[in-house]
């Protein structure tokens, strides 16, 4: 569905994206991760047609972003970090406006509005001004505008930024519901969120591709060996000595315990399976064994290992050519589209343009 080959973006002497290559299959939810300044937003804006690449190619549903940009935009729904909303417009009027900009016919636009209002749970606020909505509802309206033309691909940039825990949970559930119907690229700094939602993770740092795999495979690959956590009721000095004597154990570190028991984390050699031998050692020593389990590397640990060097690139946000981009309009059509309808409820584009 999405294919990126040797993609590079340069701002003067600075490389923001450096020769990256990846693919995203139909129906996947892919977490797109990297520290600030790593090139995430630049890459997403190239995919959506907002920025041209310096070199390399990118295609969506078989259409090249440079050669057939309008065909690409028809197949992409984009939610930037700040949703492209007009606060003075009512929710339903805004969705009607965006739908017409994206080429939905008058006969079909009402049905599409009903569809996204239902998907995004906007029924209770469809008649309200966007300015009166909470941040959570504004994010939902932003998702609705990205979905209204039923795109093949959704690109979501920090969709839960600034939301409270309840709102974050609601947006996550919505993204889960959209999986399968749409291919989704999700950029976020909330790593547990990616681990919960994404089927695959792409990590970039300093403009370069560092990893592309499932969360489970990434954590297992970076771990390289098994760590085991045990909780034992026994004299700590003797316990440490006996654990170190188990074949395959490279090191033992003492953790906090409770109730007179002590927890230990055991580092092992590569491919060493030691849990059964550790359990046997504890039982034969006459000590109580209260817990024994493998300890995996967290996604945060993986992320930090892969991105430990400080990036020196410029994100697309800093490029002066982007300051005037109008996301809701640029996503769908050329710049000569008509302004929004001028009535008491929906102000002109000129009045709302500063909000996106």
Separation of alpha carbons 191 and 251, rounded Å: 29
Separation of alpha carbons 215 and 308, rounded Å: 18
Helix (H) or strand (E) holding 110: helix 106-119
What average pLDDT does range 2-28 have in this prediction? Answer: 94
Separation of alpha carbons 198 and 169, rounded Å: 15
pLDDT, tens digit, for every residue of 263-318?
A: 988 888 665 678 889 999 999 999 999 988 877 667 777 787 787 754 443 333 44
31 confidence band (pLDDT: 50, 70, 90): very high
pLDDT higher than 70, residue 226:
no
Amino acid 142: pLDDT: 94
Amino acid 267: pLDDT: 83
pLDDT, tens digit, for every residue of 333-348?
A: 333 444 455 544 444 4
Counting every residue written for the chain, the total comes to 356
221 confidence band (pLDDT: 50, 70, 90): low
Amino acid 222: pLDDT: 64
pLDDT, tens digit, for every residue of 34-77?
A: 888 889 989 999 999 889 999 999 999 999 999 999 999 999 99
- Residues 6 or more apart whose CB falls under 8 angstroms from that of 292 comprise 228, 229, 230, 231, 275, 278, 279
The lowest-confidence range among 184-188, 219-223, 324-328 is: 324-328
pLDDT, tens digit, for every residue of 159-213?
A: 887 788 888 888 888 888 888 789 999 988 778 778 888 989 999 999 999 989 8
Rounded to the nearest integer, the mean pLDDT of the chain is: 82
Amino acid 168: pLDDT: 83
Amino acid 215: pLDDT: 82
Question: Which of 17, 35, 43 has its CA nearest to residue 308?
Answer: 35
Residue 214 has a CB neighbour count (10 Å cut-off) of: 12
Burial of 165 (0-12, 13-18, 19+ CB in 10 A): exposed
Separation of alpha carbons 148 and 280, rounded Å: 61
What average pLDDT does range 121-149 have in this prediction? Answer: 93
Give the tokens for residue 233: 């009721």
Residue with tokens 């060996």: 225
Separation of alpha carbons 79 and 181, rounded Å: 17
pLDDT, tens digit, for every residue of 69-98?
A: 999 999 999 998 888 899 999 999 999 999
CA 302 → CA 186, 192, 200, distances in Å? 18, 12, 14
Separation of alpha carbons 274 and 268, rounded Å: 8
What single-letter DSSP state applies at residue 132?
A: G
pLDDT, tens digit, for every residue of 241-277?
A: 999 999 888 889 898 766 668 898 888 866 567 888 9
């Amino acid at each position: 569905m999405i294919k990126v080959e040797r993609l590079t973006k340069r701002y003067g002497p600075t490389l923001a994206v450096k020769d990256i290559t990846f693919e995203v299959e139909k129906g996947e939810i892919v977490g797109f991760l990297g520290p600030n300044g790593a090139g995430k937003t630049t890459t997403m804006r190239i995919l959506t047609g907002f920025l041209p690449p310096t070199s390399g190619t990118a295609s969506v549903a078989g259409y090249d972003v440079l050669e057939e940009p309008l065909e690409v935009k028809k197949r992409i729904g984009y939610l930037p970090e700040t949703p492209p909303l007009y606060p003075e417009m009512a929710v339903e009027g805004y969705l009607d406006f965006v739908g017409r900009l994206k080429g939905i016919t008058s006969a079909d636009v009402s049905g599409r509005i009903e569809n996204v209002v239902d998907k995004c749970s906007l029924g209770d606020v469809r008649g309200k001004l966007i300015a009166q909505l909470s941040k959570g509802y504004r994010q939902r309206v932003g998702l609705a505008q990205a979905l209204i033309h039923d795109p093949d691909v959704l690109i979501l940039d920090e969709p839960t930024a600034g939301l409270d825990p309840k709102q974050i949970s609601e947006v996550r559930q919505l993204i889960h519901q959209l999986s399968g119907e749409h291919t989704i690229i999700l950029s976020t700094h909330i790593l547990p969120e990616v681990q919960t939602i994404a089927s695959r993770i792409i990590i970039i740092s300093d403009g370069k591709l560092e990893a592309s795999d499932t969360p489970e495979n990434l954590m297992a690959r970076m771990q390289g060996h098994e760590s085991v956590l045990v909780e034992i009721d026994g004299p700590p000095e003797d316990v440490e000595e006996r654990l170190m004597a188990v074949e395959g154990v490279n090191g033992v570190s003492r953790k906090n315990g409770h109730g007179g028991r002590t927890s230990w984390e055991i580092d092992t050699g590569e491919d060493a399976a030691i849990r059964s031998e550790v359990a046997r050692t504890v039982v034969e020593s006459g000590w109580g064994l209260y817990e024994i389990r493998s300890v995996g590397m967290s996604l945060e640990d993986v992320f930090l290992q892969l991105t430990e060097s400080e990036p020196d690139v410029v994100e697309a946000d800093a490029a002066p050519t982007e300051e005037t981009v109008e996301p809701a309009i640029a996503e769908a059509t050329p710049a000569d589209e008509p302004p929004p309808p001028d009535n008491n409820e929906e102000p002109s584009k000129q009045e709302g343009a500063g909000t996106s």
